[in-house]
Amino acid sequence: MTIPFSSRRLVSGIGFAALAIVASQSSALAHVTLAAAEARPNSYYKAVLQVPHGCDGAATQAIHVRIPEGVIGVKPMPKPGWTLDIARGAYAKSYQSHGKAVAEGPQEIVWSGGSLSDDNYDEFVFTSFVTDFSPGHAVFFPVVQNCANGEARWDQIAASGQNPHDLKSPAPMLRIISDTTVAQARMDHGSMAKTGADAMAGSDTFKAGDLVIAAPWTRATPGGAKVAGGYLRITNNGTSADRLVGATSPGADRVEVHEMSMTNGVMKMRPLSDGLVLKPGETVELKPGGYHMMFMDIKQPLKAGETLKATLAFEKAGKLDVTFKVNALGAAGGASHQH
């Protein structure tokens, strides 16, 4: 079997803070990605490779994924109608697994012989064990997608300080996080689950006419990042509809209101040229994965614990100055002081 990757050893971990931007901040997630993009060191990890399309309209006939150094105990899931091949090799060093030294294992997985139409979406799965990477590092799983009329190579890795979304064909990336990050994310998730008065308690609120804007927040950004997401809740207590038509911020060259949606298995983001409708008596939440604001060409990195000023513009209620709290990089919600 021909292995489509070069024989050089892949770089398995580099400083994540120098290159990561939350996936929801990209304009179109049309490449091969990992469904779960975070894992703790020394833990089991189920990798789900998401394949949203073929190559220039042609059906996918094979998926090759390279296993990086430090990811061991790999076991791929067979797929009906596809042939599964595993290329094994020696690791750069020996690892401990269940009290035994492990010096070699799967280094490439190939699913071939199938046919995934360009109109369809599918997932390719394997389990593994992530070894002792340092929290904050990134691990890359380069993928080659063979199609009926050629191939697509998702194997580019951002250099230090480079925005990965500037890459045409980025490799699927796994971020290594600490137990502290996991605990904080759970706290944020619990905060986001609150409703009504509980959700409003302790959150910053701003009013413009009949509109109440609650808990504006954003995330810290790595050095070199040029975009940041903005999130908040807007409640229209009036009897007529209003519309969020735009925003400005001294910390960014421009601010846009965006919608994120899934189309044919591809996550896409588009600006709302007509603004965001706010119906009477309803609450609209701008959050990761849905409606959100985008601070474009930010003038300096956002740091956790700081704030970002902005002015919202509404069709009827007019302009309103608000303050976005900057939460930690990777934060899942806005109730805590941390896209």
Please state whether beta strands 71-76 and 43-51 pair in parallel, antiparallel, or not at all (unpaired).
unpaired
Per-residue pLDDT at 289 = 81
Q: Residue 302 pairs with which residues in a beta bridge?
A: none
Nearest to 259 by CA among 303, 224, 229: 229
pLDDT the model gives residue 98? 81
Residue with tokens 């846009």: 256
Residues 273-282, mean pLDDT to the nearest whole number: 91
Q: CA-to-CA distance for 217 and 233, rounded, in angstroms?
A: 10
Distance CA 334, CA 154 (A): 33
Express as a percent the part of the chain with pLDDT over 90. 57
Residue 145, token pair as written in the block: 């997608």
| pLDDT value at 331 more than 80 | no
From 7-21, 151-165, 287-301, 304-318, the region with the lowest mean pLDDT: 7-21
**All domains in the chain, ordered by first residue:** 14-181 (2.60.40.2230), 195-327 (2.60.40.1890)
User: Which of 10-14, 133-137, 260-264, 333-337 has the lowest average pLDDT?
Assistant: 10-14
Q: What's residue 4's pLDDT?
A: 61
Q: How far is CA 104 from CA 64, 91, 92, 134, 264, in A?
A: 19, 5, 9, 22, 39
- H or E segment to which residue 325 belongs: strand 318-327
The torsion angle over the Cα atoms of residues 28, 296, 334 and 318, rounded to 10 degrees, is: -110
19 vs 239: CA distance, rounded Å: 46
Q: How far, in Å, are 158, 176, 306 from residue 139 at the CA level?
A: 12, 8, 29
Least confident segment among 34-38, 106-110, 141-145, 269-273: 269-273
More confident call, 130 vs 190: 130
Per DSSP, the three-state class of 123 is strand
pLDDT tier for residue 191 given thresholds of 50, 70 and 90: very low
How many Å apart are CA 332 and CA 339, to the nearest integer?
Answer: 8
Residue 232 contacts residue 216 (beta carbons within 8 Å) = yes
Residues 6+ apart with CB under 8 A from 313: 244, 245, 246, 247, 248, 319
Q: Determine the pLDDT at residue 7.
A: 39
Task: Write down the pLDDT at residue 260.
Answer: 78
pLDDT digits (tens, 9 = 90+) for 11-29: 444 443 333 333 333 333 4
The mean pLDDT value of the chain amounts to 81
Q: What percent of the chain has pLDDT over 70?
A: 77
**pLDDT of res. 204:** 82
Q: Which structure tokens are listed for 79?
A: 């797929």
> For position 290, what pLDDT does the model report?
86
Q: pTM for this structure?
A: 0.52
When mean pLDDT is compared over 15-19, 160-164, 237-241, the highest value belongs to 237-241
Quote the CA–CA distance of 339 and 291 in Å, as a whole number. Answer: 11
